[in-house]
Structure 1
C-alpha cells in the first residue's frame, strides 16, 4: 500500500513539475539525438530526430510530441531495420510529410559511398504520426549518386501548386527531384531530366526549404558535422530551383553555450509570423562525435525578410499552445 501511495505521489509531482516549466530548456528532451525534423500535425508539435550513435547502433528512430513546445512525450522505435529489411545501419535524417491521412517518413540508410553499395534514401508509411512505420517500397527510393550528390539528408517540400519535391544531397552537392503522387519514384522535368542541381556556395548537407511572402527560403548546413564549425546558412529565390545566392550564416556555435550547431528544421505557427528553429548541437562537456542533443530557439526576420542570426540558449522557448 505504501509503495503505491509513494508511486502516486511521485507521478503527481512529476506532472506538477512539467506543468510549471516556464521554458522548454535546451536540450528539449533527454538523450543523444540529432538532425531533428520539426513539424505540426493535428495541433500537436512533433520532432523526428536521428538517434545519434555509432552507425551499427543507429538502427531505429524515436519521435517526440508536445502540446506546447515545452512538455515532450517520447514515442520509441517508430521505425527500425526490422521493418526496413534493406537498411543495415545508420538510419538517419528523417523527413516527414502527411498526405491523404497517411504519414510518410523519408530517411537515409547505410551511408553508401558509391553506386555499387546497397542503401540510400527510403520511405516508410504509417496511419499515425507515432507509427509504427513500415517500408513503403521494399527497396530504396533513391540508391545512386547523381550530380555528385550522395543520396542522404532528404527533405520533402510541398509547393504552393501541390507538387511535392524531394531536396537532398551530401558531399557538397544538392539536388531537387519531383516526386510522384504516391512517393514511389520521380517525375521527369519538362526538359527530360530528373535530378536538378541547386547547390549554393558553401553547401555541405542538411537542406531545408520553406515559403514566406511568396519567396523560397533555402537553408543548409556547412562545415563538418563532427566539428565546432558546423553551422546553417541560407538563400532566397523566386522559385524552388533557385538560383540560390548565399546570404549569410544564421545558426552557429556559441563558445559559452554549445558547439557544432547545425542540421536544423523550421516550425511556423500556422497563419502567424512566428518561427522556431529546431536543431542539434554538442554540449561543451562532450567531445564524442555522436554526443549531440536536440534544441529549439526562436527565429526572427527583419523588415526586409532577412533571417536574423539565431541566438542559441540554455532556456529554449516559452510555452506556445496551438489553437
Structure 2
C-alpha cells in the first residue's frame, strides 16, 4: 500500500472509531486562492473555482459557524454579470464597508494591450448576488511590471483602505477611494507604489498584530509542488518588507503546492488560522487544488512559526 492510500485509510479508520475526523480539505471540490474572513458571527471563505481558464468563469462562497460544517453559496457572481470578463475569474478578495460588501476579483489573465485585470462588484449580503460596480476593470494597466491580479484589500488603523496586488514577481500598493470606484494619489502625488519583497511571485496578504504590519506572499509556481508562503514584518503599510522566511510549504506526508493564502483572526483572541490551498499527494494537475485551514502561531518575538499542515484541520465555534 502506498503512502497516500495508507494515510487516507488511517484517517478514515480514526473517524469511524470516533477518535478523529478529517476536516482538511474543509469542503469538497477543486477550490484555490481562498479569502477567509468573519462577518456577522460567521466564517466565510471566498475561493477561486479551480478549473481550466475557459471554465473558471464564476465564484462560489462557503459559510460556517465552526470551521467544520460549511454551507455552499453557488455562483455568487459570474461572467454573465461582468461583461468585460470572458474567462479566468480568480483570486477573490472581499471587504465590508457601510453595510455593503465589495467583492474584488481578477479576470482574463490580462497581458499588455488586453482588457482585463482587477474588477470590483457589490452586494447587500456576503453571499451576494454581486453586481459589477464599474462595468470595466478598476486596474487594467501593467504598472511597475506587476500583472494586475491577486488583489488584497486592507483597512489600515486610521480607516484608510489600500489594495496590494500583483503577479509576475512584482507587487504594488494603491490607495482606494471611499467608494472603491477609483484609485487616489498618495501624499507625494503618485498612484502606484512598488513594495516587492525578495522572492515575491504573487498572492499578497497583510494583517496587523501588536502594531506591526505582517506582509505575506506566495513564491514558486502555482501549478507545481514547490508553491509556498513567506512573510516580512514592517512598521508601516509601505515597508520596506524584508523577507524573514517561509512559513508554509509542501509536506511529503500531507500535500504539495501549498500557497495563496489568507489569515483569519478570532475576535478578542490572539488566535490565528491560515486558510490556503494545497494539492493532494496523488494529484499533479495544476488545477487539482483544495482549500484547507490550519492553526498559525507566533513565537515570543512575534515571528510566525512554520505552519504544520494537517488532515484534522481546526474547529472554533463563534
TM-score range, shorter chain: over 0.9
Map 1:122-201 to 2 at 5 A.
Answer: 122-201=119-198
* Post-superposition CA distance 1:207-248 (Å, at most 9, x none): 000000000000000000011110000000000000010000
SS in structure 2 at match of 1:241? coil
Give the drift of 1:23: 5.1
Relative distance call for 1:186 and 1:270 in structure 2 (3 A) is: same
Specify whether residues 222 and 140 from structure 1 end up closer, same or farther in structure 2 by C-alpha distance, changes over 3 A only. Answer: same
CA contact (8 A) 1:24 1:70 kept: no
Distance 1:22 1:183, change over 3 A: farther
User: 1:321 matched to which residue of 2?
Assistant: 317
4+ runs deviating over 3 angstroms: 20-24
Alpha carbons of structure 1 residues 24 and 213: separation in structure 2 relative to 1, 3 Å: farther
**Deviations for 1:243-280, whole angstroms, at most 9, x for unmatched residues?**
01000000000011100000000000012100000000
Instruction: State the Cα deviation string for residues 39-78 of structure 1 (Å, max 9, x = none).
Output: 0000000000000000000000000000000000000000
- Please, which runs of 5 or more residues in structure 1 have no aligned partner? 1-16
Aligned equivalent of 1:260, options 232, 235, 257: 257
CA displacement at 1:321 relative to structure 2: 1.3
Alpha-carbon distance between aligned partners in 2 of 1:271 and 1:121, rounded to the nearest angstrom: 33
Tell me which residue corresponds to 2:88.
90
**2:217 is the alignment partner of 1:227:** no
- Contact kept, 8 Å, 2:153 with 2:164, in 1: the verdict is yes
**TM-score, length basis structure 1:** 0.92
Paired residues, number:
302
1:97-122 deviations in Å (ceiling 9; x for gaps) = 000000000000000121x1010000
**C-alpha offsets along residues 2-42 of structure 1, whole Å, 9 cap, x if unaligned?**
xxxxxxxxxxxxxxx9xx99656110000000000000000
Residue 76 of structure 2 corresponds to: 78
Q: How does 1:229-248 map to 2 (within 5 A)?
A: 229-248=226-245
Shift of 1:141: 0.3
Tell me the distance in 2 between the aligned counterparts of 1:238 and 1:38. 24
Offset from partner CA, 1:137-170 (integer Å, 9 cap, x none): 1110000001110000000000000000000000
Q: 1:187 to 1:313 in 2, by over 3 A?
A: same
Match of 1:305 in 2: 302
Q: Which runs of 5+ in 2 are unaligned?
A: 1-14
CA contact (8 A) 1:276 1:299 kept: yes
**1:54 counterpart (47, 52, 55):** 52
Aligned partners of 1:24 and 1:69 also within 8 Å: no
SS state of the match for residue 44, structure 2? strand
What is the TM-score normalised by the length of structure 2?
0.93
Distance 1:238 1:220 in 2: 17
After superposition, the Cα gap between the structure-2 partners of 1:189 and 1:173, relative to the gap in structure 1 and judged at 3 Å, is same
Q: CA–CA distance in 1 between the matches of 2:247 and 2:61?
A: 26
Q: 1:299 offset after TM fit, Å?
A: 0.2
Q: RMSD over aligned Cα, in angstroms?
A: 1.2
